[in-house]
Structure 1
Amino acid sequence: MRRFLAALACLVLAACAAAPGPYLYLLDAPAPSGAGAGGAQSVGLREIGLPLYARRVQIAAQDQSGAITADDQHRWAEEPPRAATRLVARSLAALREGAVYADPWPQGAAPDFIVTTEVDRFLGALGGEVTLEGQLTVARAGERASAVTGPFTISVSTEGENHAALAAAYGAALAELARRIEAALESY
């Protein structure tokens, strides 16, 4: 009986050692060009509101039937709302002269503008495209009555049929969102 249990334990350990993953992906994008071309006033970026399926650690993908799948073997390396907010803040900072603070901003920081982003759809398909849709609100700090809200829709094609390409497209969509925020700030 002991031999049987020892053999069974060895088989279980061998099976676990042979199983791949999980694979972790960063939500990232190259910094946009045109650094420092935007305004000199500071911006506070509230944490981006994502739908439930996009907040999960498993990377969401839509299959051909329209179902949203979340594969345990392909995960974000960090919490998606926080990672998305930091990526947009970093991309926006590359487009502006003024400081950009991701929520929660540092102690003592007093941004001139507050940007709130609520995402209704942030979904992609392997070998297809990523769609990022929602509402963007820009307001001067402390002046809610001056807030301007408008919709946005961004589509980015994936450059492959794997999760790495899908993760890159998610990042590219967020970098484009930073460009849209900069345009909204300039037209405010």
Structure 2
Amino acid sequence: MIDLTFSALANRDTARTRLTRCAVVILLAVLPLACSSKPPAKVYLLEPVFDLQAEVPAANIQALGLAVVTLPGYATDQRIASRGERARILLDDDHEWADSPDEAITRVLAHRLQDFADADVLIEPWPRGYDPEARIEVVFDRLLREPTGGAEMAGQIRIIAGDGRRVLGVKRFQFIRYANSQDPSAYFESVAMGINDVARMITAELRGS
């Protein structure tokens, strides 16, 4: 004769033991994640800035097309890239661009180029019927936060005829916009100032083309 009461109690104790073990396993799996969590990265918006440097005369052009700028691979990451020792590049997990860096730089460049060149500036792809007199390409070789907190920038400007059949000008640029603060916001201000410099160079090239 089987003792059904004892069998039921044994099964219930076994089930409780299994549940307890499962709970312990889940707790051990979740605990490291909770301990390793950290505050989300701070994000920064790149915006146009106006400086006191003398403006270049406007180009005699009414309509410009601007290609999305090209960045080196490391600079397409939304984390701020800084120059380290021995040619190392460091990516900051705590401070990031609010937008995709190439799109943010293109947007600000279009804004400032419109002011400097006194022309309509549309970013590709532009609408049907828009007939730019020149197409601007900017290819960055370098975009890094330098030790003072400023921006190190280098690359090439290419000015192409609106119909795409002629290269009107090619100009290299390389400079550092220093900052007076290590705060990440100073880096973005330095980048915006550097974009002003690039926009001035483009306008000067357009006047000479």
Relative to the length of structure 1, the TM-score reads 0.83
Compute the displacement of 1:114 (Å).
0.8
Compute the displacement of 1:35 (Å).
8.1
Q: Which has the larger radius of gyration?
A: 2
Q: 1:83 to 1:155 in 2, by over 3 A?
A: same
Residue 89 of structure 2 is matched in structure 1 by 68
Residue 122 of structure 2 is matched in structure 1 by 101
Residue 78 of structure 1 is matched in structure 2 by 99
2:48 counterpart (19, 29, 39) = 29
Matching residue's letter, 1:130: A
2:177 counterpart (156, 159, 164) = 156
Q: Which runs of 5+ in 1 are unaligned?
A: none
Number of corresponding residues: 186
Q: In proportion to residue count, which structure has more helix?
A: 2
Compute the displacement of 1:170 (Å).
1.9
Compute the displacement of 1:91 (Å).
0.7
CA contact (8 A) 1:111 1:141 kept: yes
Task: Give identity over the alignment, percent.
Answer: 24
Relative to the length of structure 2, the TM-score reads 0.76
Residue 130, structure 1, aligned to residue 147, structure 2? no
Q: Which runs of 5+ in 2 are unaligned?
A: 1-19
1:57 counterpart (78, 85, 105) = 78
CA distance in 2, matches of 1:128, 1:52: 21
Q: 1:37 to 1:12 in 2, by over 3 A?
A: same
Q: 1:176 to 1:35 in 2, by over 3 A?
A: closer
Residue 167, structure 1, aligned to residue 188, structure 2? yes
CA contact (8 A) 2:150 2:186 kept: no
Compute the displacement of 1:60 (Å).
0.5
Helix, strand or coil for the counterpart of 1:154?
strand
Aligned residues: CA RMSD: 2.8
